[in-house]
Amino acid sequence: MVAESKSLLHRTIHLRPSTPATIQPRQCTAIGPNISGYNLPQQLCFASSGLALYIEEMDADFSERIFPEQPPQILPPLVPASEDQLPPQQQEQLRAVRAREFGRNRPRGIRSWAWAPATYLLVGINCIVFLAMLASHVSFVSPTAEQLLHWGANNPQAILVDGQWWRIVTAMFVHVGIWHLASNMWCLWNLGLLGEPLLGAWGVFCAYLLSGAAGNLLSMGVSQAFHSTDAVGVGASGAVFGLAGALIILLKSPRLPMPPKELASLRRYVIYFAAINFVIGFGTMVVPVGVRIDNMAHLGGFLGGILFALPLVPQLGSPRTQFLVRRRMAVAMVSGVLVLFGFYLSTVGILR
């Protein structure tokens, strides 16, 4: 039963429970005009039993769709087939990725893929070390082995016998001349800009250090196995290969809010980069060209980067808490593996 009361300020409808009644959907049109003055839709009517609402144009399967007999099937998230299907914010991020539009007018809080502070920092440190070497009269093109050792090059004798383990880290910031530096920094710049949205700034920095250390440890271990204790190794190439290995893993993640074709293209680019450089590196062992490439540092860095990325989820497209937890897990895992490997190399060196 519907009772009506009016006041000077507004009108109200009081619903009183009375004898249970059933109102069919088509009966709503009869009382629609009577309640239109109360700012209610004409398609709605009130039944006194339970205050049920009925819709005039009700489909036959309305109740089945609202209350299905079988639970709905849970499907994995759909990956948009084109950029137009993405939310506006993600479309803006993708446009910034392609255009490298850092510093332009964009909504506050949206950063382009060119915003890569860890990449800038790592490239800057490498360049500053090289300038400092030049300032101390080190050759611009071909430094000597003694000069490289003075600036922190990797050497089995210095590390295993003299205990200078800090060389595992410093060696990845020292280069043999300007061409060595330029080629490594070009690769680091491109892979860093691509990887920082997936790894985060701290993730790129840790991936660089850990994979570079993995490469230097493997290089030292192989040199020790072949009794080349006078070998001198420098360069960021092991760390660069580590970033490539990490990207190959992360670019396959279904969490990334990017079209599959674009992801596949980026991943192929990184794979080709690693494959071509491996071929060139190992090719110099067969055909002498006057340049000695530390292939073990490349291989160790590449494997270290893959190991680092295995427990990770990409920062882009993943919950922040889950991403941070996985990144801490990756840093702890790879650090533990490197410590154990270094302890093994030191034990073998002492026994020999």
Q: Is 252 left (phi over 0), alpha (psi -120 to 50) or beta?
A: alpha
With beta carbons less than 8 A apart as the criterion, state whether 48 and 15 touch. yes
Catalytic residue from among 82, 227, 298, 346: 298
Element (H, E) at 310: none
Question: Closest by alpha carbon to 35, among 15, 21, 49?
Answer: 15
Half-sphere exposure at residue 338, Cβ-oriented, CA atoms within 13 angstroms: 27
The question of whether 335 is a catalytic residue gets the answer no
CA pair distance 293, 345, nearest whole angstrom: 22
**173 in Cβ contact with 185 (< 8 Å):** no
Count of Cβ atoms closer than 10 Å to residue 185 Cβ: 21
> In terms of DSSP H, where are the helices of 226-352?
237-250, 260-286, 295-309, 320-351
How many Cβ atoms are within 10 Å of 7's Cβ, its own excluded? 7
Task: From the candidates 237, 253, 318, 346, give the one annotated as an active-site residue.
Answer: 237
Q: N- to C-terminal Cα distance for the chain?
A: 99
**Phi, psi (deg, nearest 5) at residue 327:** -70, -40
For residue 258, the one-letter residue type is M
- Residue 131, classified by CB atoms within 10 Å of its CB into exposed (0-12), middle (13-18) or buried (19+), is exposed
- What gap in Å lies between CA 127 and CA 178, rounded to an integer? 10
Task: Tell me, yes or no, if 237 is annotated catalytic.
Answer: yes
Distance CA 166, CA 152 (A): 8
Q: How far apart are CA 238 and CA 223, in angstroms?
A: 16
Residue 12: phi, psi to the nearest 5? -135, 160
Would you name the residues annotated as active-site residues?
237, 298
